[in-house]
């Protein structure tokens, strides 16, 4: 289905863009990673609640649905000649998508509960937010990108088997996938950033491939008419 390839390419670009926006918001606009005190964290979330809410939707909830569309497009493209690998990729990808969607929804639900509590008891709000953040971080794979790593690795392996994706893109995917898997090791967790930046490049490249193949197919059909 060529329309599915087109939507998959669009989804890949969305995932790259939303990831970049999320990095800018959390690292630059909010400077969230530099804040370690629970009271300061909850105060920032309350003060910038609309920014945090919108970014959670963009970077986790909508990202998860875009991942499902991309996964279906890749399955349609790569399943011939790599059925077992793509079946595994479907399972891992859907688990990853569900985990990300849940992370964003739980975070926004927790934020909605924290705002009125903060107005009454800031200390209790800070303690409550610590518990919420532990859950959302776990669902969002902040403690290691094993789901994203395995997904990227499987897609790249299928790309090699079927030759449905360019070899350099598959090599990049294998490297990124291994890095993502390794981040589950505590001493290597800081490489999550490397994985994230690598995946942005991978998504953009993948989006170009999917959209270009769709464009070329449409052009060839028009030529033969």
- State residue 30's pLDDT score: 85
Structural domain total, the chain: 1
In the chain, where does DSSP find H-type helix? Answer: 2-24, 38-47, 49-56, 62-78, 83-120, 122-139, 146-162, 167-182, 192-224
Does residue 113 lie within any of the structural domains? yes
Whether 25 is covered by a domain: the verdict is yes
For residue 120, what are its two tokens? Answer: 């009454």
- Lowest average pLDDT, out of 27-36, 83-92, 196-205, goes to 27-36
Measure Cα distances from 47 to 5, 127, 183, 200 in Å: 41, 17, 32, 29
- What is the C-alpha separation between 16 and 203, in angstroms, rounded? 6
Q: What would the mean pLDDT of 53-74 be, rounded to a whole number?
A: 95
Q: Which of 152, 173, 158, 221 is nearest to 213 (CA)?
A: 221
- On the question of pLDDT at 225 being above 70, the answer is no
- The mean of the pLDDT values for the chain is 89
Range of the domain at 90: 2-218
Is residue 135 a part of any domain in this protein? yes
Across 144-173, average pLDDT:
94
d(CA 154, CA 163): 14
pLDDT value at position 221?
Answer: 44
How confident is the model over 139-157, as a mean pLDDT? Answer: 92
Structure tokens at 159: 């790309």
Residue 94 pLDDT: 96
CB 1 within 8 A of CB 76: yes
pLDDT at site 219:
43
Higher pLDDT, 143 or 199: 199
> Residues 49-69, buried b or exposed e (16+ Cβ, 10 A)?
beebbebbbbbbbbbbebbbb
Residues 6+ apart with CB under 8 A from 115: 46, 49
CB 21 within 8 A of CB 200: no
Tell whether 224 is covered by a domain: no
* pLDDT over threshold 90, residue 156: yes
Least confident of 19-33, 89-103, 179-193: 19-33
So what's the pLDDT on residue 82? 83
Q: What is the pLDDT of residue 198?
A: 94
pLDDT exceeds 80 at position 214: no
Report how far apart the first and last C-alpha atoms of the chain are (Å, whole number): 19
Taking residues 198-212, report their average pLDDT. Answer: 95
pLDDT band at 141 (very low <50, low <70, confident <90, very high): confident
Q: Tell whether 181 is covered by a domain.
A: yes
pLDDT at 27: 85
**Exposed/middle/buried for 214, CB within 10 Å: 0-12, 13-18, 19+?**
buried
Give mean pLDDT, residues 97-113: 95
pLDDT at 95 over 90: yes
222 pLDDT exceeds 80? no
pLDDT value, residue 1: 63
Q: What is the arithmetic mean of pLDDT over 155-161?
A: 94
pLDDT for 217? 45
Q: Is there a domain that residue 130 lies in?
A: yes
């Amino acid at each position: 289905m060529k329309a599915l390839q087109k939507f998959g390419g669009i989804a890949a670009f969305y995932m790259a863009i939303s990831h970049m926006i999320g990095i800018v918001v959390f690292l630059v606009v909010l400077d969230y990673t530099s804040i370690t005190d629970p009271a300061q964290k909850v105060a920032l979330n309350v003060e910038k609640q609309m920014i945090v809410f919108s970014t959670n939707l963009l970077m986790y909830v909508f990202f998860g649905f875009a991942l499902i569309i991309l996964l279906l497009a890749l399955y349609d493209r790569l399943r011939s000649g790599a059925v077992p690998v793509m079946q595994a990729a479907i399972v891992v990808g859907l688990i990853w998508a569900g985990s990300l969607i849940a992370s964003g929804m739980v975070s926004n639900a927790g934020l909605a509960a924290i705002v009125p509590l903060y107005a009454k008891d800031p200390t209790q709000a800070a303690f409550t937010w610590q518990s919420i953040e532990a859950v959302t971080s776990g669902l969002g794979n902040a403690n290691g990108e094993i789901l994203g790593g395995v997904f990227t690795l499987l897609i790249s392996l299928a790309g090699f088997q079927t030759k449905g994706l360019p070899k350099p893109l598959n090599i990049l995917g294998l490297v990124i996938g291994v890095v993502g898997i390794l981040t589950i090791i505590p001493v290597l967790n800081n490489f999550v950033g490397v994985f994230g930046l690598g995946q942005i490049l991978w998504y953009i490249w993948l989006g170009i491939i999917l959209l270009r193949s769709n464009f070329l197919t449409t052009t060839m059909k028009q030529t033969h008419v």
